[in-house]
Every structure is written in structure tokens, then in C-alpha cells.
Amino acid sequence: MKELTKAEEQVMQILWQLKEGIVKDILARMPDPKPAYTTVSTVVRVMESKGFVAHKAYGTSHVYYPTINEEEYKKLAFDKLLKTFFNDSVKELISYLAKEKKLNITDLAELILLSERGKK
């Protein structure tokens, strides 16, 4: 499955909230300045071609809905990030976070605790 652009991710976030909706519903939830209706329509159709969105037709109206849930997308995006930037190594990721985000010993201890809970 391909990845989403920033604009597509914004639309996807809205569709996850709505569960389903027409382009006008999506546009109504977008922050100002709102893009043009045709822009949002194009973004949704591109997302559909990528397999992230599908639609039900009611006459000339299309009701769009996500074909992937938020958790599935998070996993897809995280796995790509881990592979692309950290050689598929959680250790490299944690090392980066510790250095760049200045994790303290308490943060690291909490990560270890969470890791141990996840193994059960």
C-alpha cells in the first residue's frame, strides 16, 4: 500500500472521525483557509486509487469511507519510518529519541516497563 501525502493524511483524519461522508462533509471540518471543493474531491479520488478510501454511490453523490483504520495506518507509517530512517532497529530509534528528544532516565524506565508489559 502506498503512503499518504500531508493533504491526504489531513483528509484521512477527518474521514476517521466521520466514519463516512461526502466531500462537503470533509470540507466543512477542514481548518481555514479551506481548500477549494474540487481540490478536496481530487484528493479523495487519489486516496481511493491508492486503496485508502472507497465509496458508495447514491445517484450522483458519492459517500466516501476509509478502508483502513487509524491503527492500521499508524503501524504502516511507523514501520516505514523505522525501516527507512533507523535500519529497522528499535534500538537505533530509542537511541535517537534519547539523544535528540533528551529522554531522561525516568522516561527510559517507563519505556522498559511498557516493553515488558507488551511481551506478556
Q: Which CATH number fits domain 6-66: 1.20.1250.20, 3.30.420.40, 1.10.10.10, 1.10.10.1590?
A: 1.10.10.10
Task: Cite the DSSP H helix spans in 1-120.
Answer: 6-18, 23-29, 37-50, 70-86, 90-100, 105-119
What confidence tens digit (pLDDT) does each residue in 35-44 have? Answer: 999 999 999 9
Rounded CA-CA distance 13/20 in Å is 11
Amino acid at 19: K
Residue 108's pLDDT is 84
> What's the grid cell of residue 114?
511498557
Rounded CA-CA distance 17/31 in Å is 15
What confidence tens digit (pLDDT) does each residue in 13-36 have? Answer: 999 999 999 999 999 999 999 999
103: confidence class by pLDDT, cuts 50, 70, 90: confident
The mean-pLDDT minimum among 43-47, 66-70, 71-75, 91-95 falls in 91-95
Rounded CA-CA distance 40/25 in Å is 11
55: confidence class by pLDDT, cuts 50, 70, 90: very high
Residue 120's pLDDT is 63
| Domain(s) of CATH 1.10.10.10: residues in the chain | 6-66
Q: pTM, whole model, 2 decimals?
A: 0.80
